[in-house]
Structure 1
């Protein structure tokens, strides 16, 4: 194994596993010292809405990724791409196909960063709208950034093909992957602050209270939502069904959970009014039907 690859694997383990674990343990100790008394954790209906919005945002982001993998190929002579519910493919040949394997991750990252920026703007949004922007920011960033690391490790991955087309050397690939790994906790902590702004003042009173609030409103919804994402991705090989949802959840949620105790200076927007479950449930069911009835057979693009 090359030294650079081994170094990147170690850095990935530190960023995805060891870092959140160490930060979370420090928070556990801090919470026991500062405010061990339990506090109310907020509305369970809000948590259920967060789970449904996560499922919708994940699959919408995945659709955006695959759509923007297909559209550039559809406009390229010699390529005939097809869009599916869990993948895309193409017939024909053109050297640009390798480059366009990177456009999906670029599109989702731009969507994620745009939503992250919107969360920083003072807007009179409903709770449901803010939840949607929050999870779109999360899914956009954490669906794209891990692909940079995978691209540096695997030439056969989507971003690996794009990096090969651009003739990026190993050093450049590893540097890009390190930047992506470093961005993950920074984005996670920004999102943690945004979610805690939903809470009322008592829920922000101490490290333990903030940790419990994030567990109920972010971690549990993401865990349950990851299981609910799977029906959108079948039928396909089990590893492909599971890999992307698990990767998106594991690269960001542990940082958000582990860092909740450290967030200071939050400006609460008042107790979050739990949005109606009817709208996100209808959106999830409707998107599932589109995925399985419309996209699963494949939509052919013959523009090139």
Structure 2
């Protein structure tokens, strides 16, 4: 499969790279990192990135405006996207050829050609291994993108998916000459409104008898602190260290839905996420519910999962 993907990339004149909606650092890092590496390796090819930018991650780069007509003769590579419904830009599936490269559980094999490796910490790490295997040089401009993706998906190398291989790849990317000070400053500096909101989150954590922590942020609360849903979603790990908590959820009300970010220290939570229009990793998932009245249903299901887990 890896060799087939390499041949498809080398045969294509136009390559369009997509990833999931509401991108995180791994989605954008893998997208920009692959683009910059392929542009470096094949200067004559047209390599484009598609989708909507997350405001908080705009420092990572600028996405291209891609004409729908280009897809008819293009190779489309979709990164870090487990389900077809989550692709940012549904036109992606109209490409002449479509490849899926991901590290999430392969519950929706939507592409004719796929490379999925759930042992990788991130899609960025997976791509570095792949590019190394192909003998492609990763320029510094791409290395910092991949590093951002790895840092984001491993929680600065804290999460369970971090392995010896992850650190080896990180070392390779650092050796490429990346500016980690610049990256960490841009990734983790926080607006004053977001810090005030974090204080609110820490004051309003609820913990069930089964060890499920949760916080609900309504639209009114977000308006009160002048914070966006995007800013608020970054606070999901702000109470990760709570003693006695096995898993936790952050509920974010928008105009049309309630987004749910779920994390775990042990109980497998992606099956619960799937029940609520979501999915993801066993320890980190996302879901969507229609209204705040459904919060209790999510907590009950997380309680059931947590009750069967002991540290």
**Normalised by the size of structure 2, how large is the TM-score?**
0.26
Higher RCO by CA contacts (8 Å cutoff, separation 6 or greater): 1
Say which structure is richer in helix. Answer: 1
**Normalised by the size of structure 1, how large is the TM-score?**
0.26
